[in-house]
Structure 1
């Protein structure tokens, strides 16, 4: 900075000073993880659990803040448009922010269809960024089951035996 001024009638002065420094920014890096379970099984690969066709299916989604920044905006979804995850529990301080280290639990339900089935749970979360747009993090986890329809067939035959 520079200061320039004028004193009494005969005196003038000019003064300048400079300062230098290093400014360091420390950012809390956000990160998130989702694990999806089908009827309690972490079924990342086919075939997943065997479920009778027509029986209920419950999907559980566990969303964890594994980063270093709180996440005030969290959206959990499923690749199957008919499956809608609903928040159940986990916000231990009831501040509606997925805090560092917190795990939130969501569930969704459906009815088992026949054959191999897969769908993906996904999470998108964001946290404010003081120097630009919000910081967004995402994760996804695939889950499977195999819908079975067991049947048993009994065939009865009679042999013709002649009685005399």
Structure 2
């Protein structure tokens, strides 16, 4: 009763989302076939139940075909969700690294926007003083950007900014 479509869906899901689990299976193909068989059986059972409850009196042939196709698609989605997709995907270190990079990028973007906002504020204004209190780790960058560096080479400017950014990283509030 198992169809190649379900077998391929199971295979793809496991290889993409559960690779270490596949490695622990004695015979992955037998396991995949059994899971695909369970999906096919549930699709048949649910399709029959939905078919009975959704019958319409005096429906045309095309209406019946459309209804049965919709019933089958619904049954497939239910079976796949209950049997296959209920197995949670593995999390990997690369996911953690990607999430950490996303957080870093979001933090850097937000801080860059804050620095730009601070550069537009009038010095010694209440708004600027409040900003300096809220973002003490960014104050040195703002001060550096407000001062004249015409006498420095590009390399010296880069070195100074790198030192400022390193100090910011060390002083950045955690969490």
TM-score category by the smaller chain? under 0.3
TM-score in terms of structure 2 length: 0.18
- Of the two, which has the highest radius of gyration? 1
Higher relative contact order (CA 8 A, sep 6+): 1
Task: Report which of the two has the higher share of helix.
Answer: 2
Task: Report which of the two has the higher share of strand.
Answer: 1
